[in-house]
Amino acid sequence: MNARRFVLFSAGGRRLAFPVETVKSVREWEEPLPIPRSKEWLLGVLEGEGEAIPVLRASFWGAGDDANRMLLILGLSGRLLALAGGEPDMLPPDCTPQEWEEDTTNGFIIGTIDVADRTAECVRVDKLYSALGLRYNDTDRIGGMDAEEDSFSR
Amino acid sequence: MPEGWVFLRVGTSVNIAVPVSAVHRVLHGADEDYAAYAPTAADLSRELRSKPDSELPGVLVLLENGSCWYVGDVLLGESVQPLRYESVPSDLFERTPGWCRGILWGRKGRFFVVAPEVLGGKR
């Protein structure tokens, strides 16, 4: 399995790890605009560049209710998704997912990473998008999909 | 995207934008025809499940498609310029197509651009 780099992000009382190539930016917290009659997971939207950026509420991840301090902006084939949560942190470059437990949470938590005293749940972003019902161009092999599938394949 | 908009305050936190070309008349409480149209009006805050703002005066918006809507207030377009349009993907809504097609972001407010079929449902 290839070594990969991950960005850690805490949300909903959980520590999550995202492949660095799926992380587009990190923003200071700004209050999203709530949209009535939208999907339950949607906290609101942020101003983007031509298309509003959906914000996934922290409680989606579990019962924990973090204070929203930061926004982690993910991107998959040009489709952006912001996560509400705490401070992000970069894991060292030699991390690989361990203790694989596939399909434990709708299929997008695909393992854990242990580094020193830190453990994080590794998120497969394409499966997260699918679980949320977010459309993206899954025939587009640019933007981390190839790398994600290659290194997550067993 | 239409060039002209009528901006409506629907509730405490929801503002919407409707193309000028879709609006036939706006009736305030003092207008002579208000009482005649009021019984036929549908409450847009209820349709959008937003909290109504009791401090707003309440106006009726008659659309070219024949529908009549009760909203909190109408804003003058000049007071909310300039605005930047962004689309809102339909997959953010439980029911597709979603009721909102886009958002106009302005310095003095954000306005949901409503899908035409949402405003055409009541007559």
DSSP string of A63-126, one letter each residue: S------EEEEEEETTEEEEEEES--EEPPTTB--BS--TTSSTT-EEEEEEETTEEEEEE-HH
The reply to whether A134 falls in a domain is yes
What residues in A contact B87, CB-CB < 8 Å?
50-52
Closest Cβ–Cβ partner in B98, B99, B105 for A47: B105
| Separation CA B1–CA A25 (nearest Å) | 30
Put simply, whether B121 touches A (Cβ < 8 Å) is no
Give the angle A139-A81-A50 at the CA atoms, nearest 5°.
85
In a domain, A150, yes or no: no
Per-residue pLDDT of A42-93, as tens digits, reads 999 999 999 999 999 998 988 665 678 899 999 999 999 999 988 777 666 6
Q: Is residue A154 part of a domain?
A: no
Which domain range does residue B66 map to?
5-119
Contact (CB<8Å) B92/A39:
yes
- Whether residue A68 lies inside any domain: the answer is yes
Q: How many folded domains does chain B comprise?
A: 1
Q: How many folded domains does chain A comprise? A: 1
Q: Which pLDDT band holds residue B43 (cuts at 50, 70, 90)?
A: very high
Model confidence at A133: pLDDT above 60:
yes
Could you read off the pLDDT of B109-120 as tens digits, one per residue?
A: 899 998 877 777
Would you state the pLDDT for residue A40?
Answer: 94
> Would you call A31 an interface residue with chain B, using a CB distance cutoff of 8 Å?
no
How large is the angle between the packed helices A125-132 and A145-152, nearest 10 degrees? 110
**Alpha helices of chain B — where are they, by DSSP H?**
34-37, 44-47, 116-119
Domain that holds residue A34: 6-145
Percent of chain B at pLDDT > 70 equals 91
Residue of B nearest to A55 (CA): B92
In this complex, is the C-beta atom of A48 within 8 Å of any C-beta atom belonging to chain B? yes
